[in-house]
């Protein structure tokens, strides 16, 4: 019984220490992306836009876990080998789960990395047809947050959502975040 009491006491201290470090936060961001890949007509590129919502939870002082949802915020005219086409490309949706190591550089600046899994659905539309393609797999990024106060911050980051032989989706996100 004495060992059980000690074990429960140690577990309670460990859980409360972890909970004290935990921090829930949310971000909304605007992403300027680049989609590129090979097609029968040559190398196809476009620069669609995306609005993203991220919810994160700091499990330790320097590590958080995040879930991200991205939705279309604008399509872009597709180019094949640098020449204009009659097609448009957009991101229909994106989902991601990430681990986010982070470190404070002074009182107001935080730098972070992000790695995990992302699934994106891109759509190409021409006057004659529409085609959607799913890309999923390893995703990574780097970024920084600037804190206006203890709860509100501005974020900028680069993310690679997909980097495969058949296509690449990456870009920069500018966002606003808040800790709860």
Question: Between the CA atoms of 68, 116, 173 and 146, what dihedral angle is there, to the nearest 10 degrees?
Answer: 90
What's the predicted TM-score (pTM) here? 0.82
Write the CB contacts of 132 (distance below 8 Å, at least 6 apart in sequence): 92, 121, 122, 123, 124
* Predicted confidence (pLDDT) per residue in 54-111, tens digit: 999 999 989 999 999 999 999 999 998 888 888 899 999 999 999 999 999 999 999 9
Sketch out the chain's domains with CATH numbers. 23-179 (2.40.160.20)
What's the count of helices (H) and strands (E) in the chain, helices before strands? 1, 10
CA-nearest of 58, 50, 57, 60 to 159 is 50
Q: How buried is 179 (Cβ within 10 angstroms: 0-12 exposed, 13-18 middle, 19+ buried)?
A: middle
């Amino acid at each position: 019984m004495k060992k059980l009491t000690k074990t429960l006491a140690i577990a309670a201290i460990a859980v409360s220490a972890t909970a004290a470090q935990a921090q829930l936060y949310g971000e909304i961001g605007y992403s300027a992306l680049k989609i590129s890949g090979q097609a029968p007509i040559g190398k196809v590129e476009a620069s669609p836009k995306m609005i993203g919502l991220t919810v994160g939870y700091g499990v330790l002082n320097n590590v958080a876990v995040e879930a991200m949802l991205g939705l279309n915020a604008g399509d872009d005219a597709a180019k094949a080998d640098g020449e204009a086409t009659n097609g448009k490309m957009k991101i229909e949706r994106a989902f991601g789960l990430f681990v986010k190591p982070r470190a404070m550089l002074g009182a107001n600046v935080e730098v972070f990395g992000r790695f995990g899994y992302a699934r994106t659905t891109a759509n190409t539309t021409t006057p004659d047809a529409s085609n959607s393609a799913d890309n999923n797999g390893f995703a990574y990024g780097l970024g920084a947050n600037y804190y206006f106060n203890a709860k509100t911050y501005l974020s900028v980051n680069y993310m690679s959502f997909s980097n495969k032989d058949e296509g690449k989706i990456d870009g920069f996100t500018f966002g606003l975040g808040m800790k709860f």
